[in-house]
Chain A
């Protein structure tokens, strides 16, 4: 099955790995409303990036669900981090909020002239969005956004393991077939 999708001049690509440890212009962190980094990927950002990132966030937060902010990536391989406050734990109007969060992240990247953005499986895992739903919302929203014109050249969906990868690959395939 394919791992890539061409949308106008942009490419959507699936990779397997740790999103906090890839060499990319920017990546999206599924943030909390208080913008504290916390554990999980937040812990990895704090450890690999250093304290400067949380210091920047202190000046930017708190933010409501669907809002996004951008910081440097400290000592990480990436250059920028887009902190996107997505919906959590089956909250009301989750699909609508998720789409809006993804669009806001892409818009911010466009405004900042960022050419390469990496997304995780949005809301999946700890925050409980089923993988199939995450794949549908993440990929279809990104495709729709890129179809309307964007300067972003590449969107990388970085998935932690096979369990995450396969539903995204399946969804990408169904988008290509459509």
Chain B
């Protein structure tokens, strides 16, 4: 009896033929099952007794379809070459768990294959086929739709992006006492158009202001675009070439509209690969400008003497984690090391490194797929061992995805290390010369009161140590602080005290932070009070942002420093740093 095939399974097979280029076919046909890929994969190393994690095994789940429907061997001798078809939606769901949940597309197996099989390439193709029929992890759907429709992966609205740049710009002008330190938006004919990762706007604005400080010190003619500013591209992860092309095109067209001479891509592995290497093919776009990683830009500034750095400002031991997309796929691994050695005193190499480095385990979109988090963290053991053996207290990386992946595993394996990026270290080492101020900046006289004088802040957390820590900092800066240690108390105190700002933990006994946050947003008496989530569980972000209420005004991960706490509080309350004289 002839087996019937589901509508989606048939669509997947129909589309597969269009995806098969020469490179793909070579990889699908060439495997000899020698097993060389096995020890290259961090999933296998974390699950040594389970052959289903082996790249060759995972590849065969896709290869069997190719053999059955597109390769003559599968038509003539299907039992010999293990050619099989797919019939049901359940089989597609099972394939989804393999291609999204058991591989980060890091390509470490690809470079260790003697036959040249690039498993990551056709794993990505399989992801794209499943996405085209609507089968994907929920997190992939959320991020993809945000990037398709809002224009960036994190759903940052244009007004929020511009507000953040304006706030950072004002801080820089105040801090440096020079109006030329402002961040130029949509400036025409700039030498550099600087594109960023939306994570920088939402969770890590310091990377933007650090970059701006460096451009300022170098006297660069630069700008940031008001639209088309997201250089990340979830199409690389989801396998959706149409998304890849649409995102890349928006970025390229904006640079051309601004008549920018060079597109500089901030530190992001998959963003760099997508924008610099893949986007032109996905979009079918001929570029009229140059592109480079901000790592190269910073290195060039130092070599040319455009900026001066003092490495004695970064004395702690630092190791470097090569992002898979930067190093393995784009060959960018010597320049970051050269730059690091110019701005830090104590560099500790990680082994293996460069193209052989292990994935941060958060790549390939893994950070957005909450259902696979336990598996991801288990597979991170090899990375944790790599990090620990360096003896460094900081790990630097040129990738925002890696920052999140590494931070998560460092916390899980209790390594006590901090994660940073090269832009932060360069900015820390930066020596800014005295410059002539063209336009006098209004000087605000020093005042004895702190910047939070007159503000009442409610600190909500079930950890007394954290409440004491945050309260002391906020009070030192002039705020009056009220506290609550669980959800119900938080609502009660908020209604009674009407604070100007609430810092809110997520995981608490009784009513947790998610419920408290939604209750606050739905309470007419509390809805307009700004809320800053401060949590030790960054993976719970989605639970907050998926609620049908306006999002929090800030979101900060623990552990939190005084500087980070104050920067976020000031941003939310829109308090400018006063010029100290």
Contact = CB atoms under 8 A, between A and B. Distances in A.
Interface stretch (A2-10, A87-95, A96-104, A140-148): A87-95
Contact of A40 (B134, B145, B549): B145
Nearest to B143: A39
Given A51-B522, A126-B149, A160-B149, A39 B142 contact: yes
B155 interface: yes
B549 A39 contact: no
Nearest to A18: B158
Nearest to A89: B134
Nearest to B253: A162
Given A126-B145, A126-B149, A47 B551 contact: yes
A41 B151 CA distance: 10
A41 to B, nearest CB: 5
Given A43-B155, A46-B548, A92 B7 contact: yes
B549 A126 contact: no
A44 B157 contact: yes
Contacts of B155: 39-40, 43-44, 47
A92 B545 CA distance: 33
Interface in B135-194: 141-146, 148-151, 155, 157-158
Interface of B: 7, 11, 132-134, 141-146, 148-151, 155, 157-158, 242-243, 245-246, 249-250, 253, 521-522, 545, 548-551
A50 B522 CA distance: 9
Interface of B, helix, strand, loop or mixed by DSSP: helix
Given A47-B157, A90-B132, 19 more contacts: A18-B150, A21-B158, A38-B145, A40-B150, A40-B155, A44-B150, A44-B157, A50-B549, A51-B550, A53-B548, A55-B548, A88-B134, A91-B7, A92-B7, A125-B148, A160-B151, A161-B246, A163-B245, A163-B250
A153 interface: no
A162 B545 CA distance: 29
A37 interface: yes
A89 B238 CA distance: 15
17 contacts: A18-B150, A36-B548, A37-B548, A38-B145, A40-B148, A40-B149, A46-B548, A47-B157, A51-B522, A51-B549, A88-B134, A90-B132, A125-B243, A126-B141, A126-B148, A128-B134, A161-B246
Interface in A12-71: 18, 21, 36-44, 46-48, 50-51, 53-55
A128 B145 CA distance: 11
Contacts of A55: 548
Contacts of A53: 548
Contacts of B142: 38-39
Contacts of A51: 521-522, 548-550
Contacts of A37: 548
B144 A126 contact: yes
Most buried by B among A39, A53, A125, A163: A39
Nearest to B155: A43
